[in-house]
Amino acid sequence: MLKVAGPEHYDAIIDIYNQAVRTGVQIAEINEVSVDDKRAWLDLHNGEHYNIFVAIEGVDENEQVVGYLALSPYRHGRAAFYQCAEISYYLDSHYQGRGLGTQLIDHAISQCPTLDITNLIAILLSCNTASIALLEKFGFEPWGLMPTIAKLEIGNVDHLYYGKKLNQHE
């Protein structure tokens, strides 16, 4: 089941995010974070224009967040980018490879017209080949490259911008 995240999901969201941090290759974050560290970011996703969608397994008191996707401000505070959103998604390591990322992206794209979002931008590391393949499956295209600027334990890697126009009537 997919639904809009609320404060009751924040701990699980941050736990999943920290799983990605620990891989050392999925995200440019080097140190784990807490809900308090991400409070301002979480508060931006209030459902008015930006959302976090959570994938839930189980029901009622047995619900477990197994992944999430955020539609976040791109260049927050700059009004010219209001119809752009940065898309990011993370899955619990036990649920990767099961089609959950596909479901989350499909759902988020279907919500964009209601949220007045016409452009999606994904910012990722070149070593994250699984995410690149998933984005390309949805028609995202390379829009930018910052060569070898991310320093990871595996070495320096490119920082990529992928994008997708959802509405060609501008």
**Domain locations in the chain as residue ranges:** 2-165
Beta bridge partners of 43: none
Q: H or E stretch including 131?
A: helix 129-137
- The per-residue pLDDT for 170 is 43
The whole-angstrom separation of Cα 56 and Cα 107 is 14
Buried b (16+ CB within 10 A) or exposed e, 108-128: bbebbeebebbbbbbbbbbbb
Q: Please give the span between the terminal C-alpha atoms of the chain, in angstroms, as a whole number.
A: 33
Please write the tens of the pLDDT for every residue from 69-78. 999 999 999 9
Taking the CB of residue 51, how many other CB atoms lie within 10 A of it?
23
| Confidence band of 112 (pLDDT split at 50, 70, 90) | very high
| Confidence band of 24 (pLDDT split at 50, 70, 90) | confident
**For 61-112, what is the HEC assignment?**
HHCEEEEEEEEEECCCCCHHHCCEEEEEEEECHHHCCCCHHHHHHHHHHHHH
The whole-angstrom separation of Cα 123 and Cα 82 is 17
To which CATH superfamily is domain 2-165 assigned? Gcn5-related N-acetyltransferase (GNAT) (3.40.630.30)
- The per-residue pLDDT for 47 is 82
The whole-angstrom separation of Cα 123 and Cα 162 is 6
Average pLDDT of the residues in 2-27 = 94
Please write the tens of the pLDDT for every residue from 58-71. 887 888 999 999 99
Predicted TM-score (pTM) of this structure: 0.93
